Amino acid sequence: MTTDTSTPPASRFDGTREEAERYDRADPLAFLRERFVHAEPGLLYLDGNSLGRLPADTPEFVAGVIRDGWGRGLVRSWHDWIDWNRRIGDRLARHVLGARPGEVVLSDSTTVNLYKLASAALDHAPGRRALVVDASDFPTDRYVAQGLARRHGLELRVVHSDLDRGLDPEDLRAVLDDQVALVVLSHVAYRSGALADMAAVNALAREAGALVLWDLSHSAGAVPVRLAEDGADLAVGCTYKYLNGGPGSPAFLYVRRSLQERLRQPIQGWFGQRDQFAMGPDFDPVGTVDRFLTGTPPMLSTAALVPALALVEEAGIDRLRAKGRLLGELAAEFAARRLAPLGFRLASPADPDRRGSHLTLWHPDAWRICRALADEGVVCDYREPDRLRIGPSPAYTRFTDVWDALERLRRLVESGRHTRLPHERARVT
């Protein structure tokens, strides 16, 4: 992948609502929409890349675990749940992440998993004195890298990817040498939606003898990930965005099979022990990816992933990707035709193949526009600097939802109603 300086490909959309309606009628995933809860029928929700909607089957499934498992079965139900982190991990590996069985587990949060895998990778290369991170990456990734660099006395090398177009592998090549132990990157950029070339990055790092740790939080469940095929070493990601696991649902981690026994994680908990219930005096990690587990998993939030993941499996990641790509094309074409005269510009790669399932629009007053849109029944979000992020989830977002939301946006800015709001920014997560 190179910096995107080419002319944007011609759009297949003409920008009319009638066309959006035709795409809705032909949508092979239209049946999924009613499998999610829509508590406010008139709400146009374009923030699925922050928090996915609630699957309709989730409340009863979780209630059953609470009522029948916890309430009636008590500890006798433990055997039904004890291996969920591995079973669900294998489902993610097969249907979402392009990994092999035994390479993915659910565990902790994305931040904790990032710390565990990054720390293990650095310990594995004691002679190397540098760690690479992207200056534009999600804050938690940069913060973890900064902390580990200080703790290990390493040089923190920063690659500066383009805010809109994402990482150029040649910029990464410039900071790689035989001193780099680990590279930490996101597959899909949280701000712009730029999609990194995983295979190319892995190959560059491998030439330098470094490992790569990928954050898949904005790609898992939205774009095909091919960890095994692309030669990935390590990865982490959350499950509450396109996987619809709910607020704070457990994260996942991936470790390539050939690395599992060579890496020793820093948080030595009893779920990573070889003979867990022998309660031995010393930590002896199991020889599988389970060594990266820590303590007792949060069973109730884990339970919510069972029906949620079933919907992703039924839809199929390729169909989700195809629809997500089209939704993004529709939004980009609308922006070019109707929003550009109002001061908006696309702050994402122009080529839809180089975007994930969200895109970003720049406007000098994006913060107030985002706040004012909430009063218009449109939920999206704001990211610094001056960017409005549009995140339609292909599992439940209609083409007309995107068209109607952007039309409300156009009318809002054209009227100037957003300028009545104060300029100050609140905390945005």
Q: What are the respective helix, strand and coil percentages of the chain, to the nearest 5?
A: 45, 15, 40
Task: Give the residue among 380, 398, 378 at the shortest CA–CA distance from 390.
Answer: 380
- From 4, 134, 215, 381, the catalytic residue: 215
Measured from the Cβ of residue 397, the count of other Cβ atoms closer than 10 Å reads 24
Return the structure tokens found at 145.
């890298």
- From 354, 368, 389, 410, the catalytic residue: 389
* Strand ranges in 204-327 using DSSP code E only, listed in sequence order: 211-215, 234-237, 252-255
Beta partners for residue 362, in sequence order:
345, 387
- From 157, 241, 325, 398, the catalytic residue: 241
Task: Give the residue among 222, 244, 238, 409 at the shortest CA–CA distance from 334.
Answer: 409
- From 13, 138, 190, 334, the catalytic residue: 138
User: 274: number of CA atoms within 13 Å, CB side?
Assistant: 10
| Amino acid at residue number 287 | G
| Amino acid at residue number 220 | A
Helix (H) or strand (E) holding 184: strand 180-186
Is 138 considered catalytic here? yes
- From 240, 242, 252, 344, the catalytic residue: 240
Is 215 considered catalytic here? yes
Is 241 considered catalytic here? yes
Angstrom distance (rounded) from CA 405 to CA 400: 8
Task: Give the residue among 212, 184, 216 at the shortest CA–CA distance from 200.
Answer: 212
Angstrom distance (rounded) from CA 293 to CA 89: 12
Dihedral sign, CA of 227, 231, 237, 241?
A: negative
DSSP class of 302? H
Task: Give the residue among 421, 418, 422, 400 at the shortest CA–CA distance from 409.
Answer: 418
Residue 189 backbone dihedrals phi, psi, to 5 degrees: -65, 130
Active site residue ranges:
138, 215, 240-241, 389
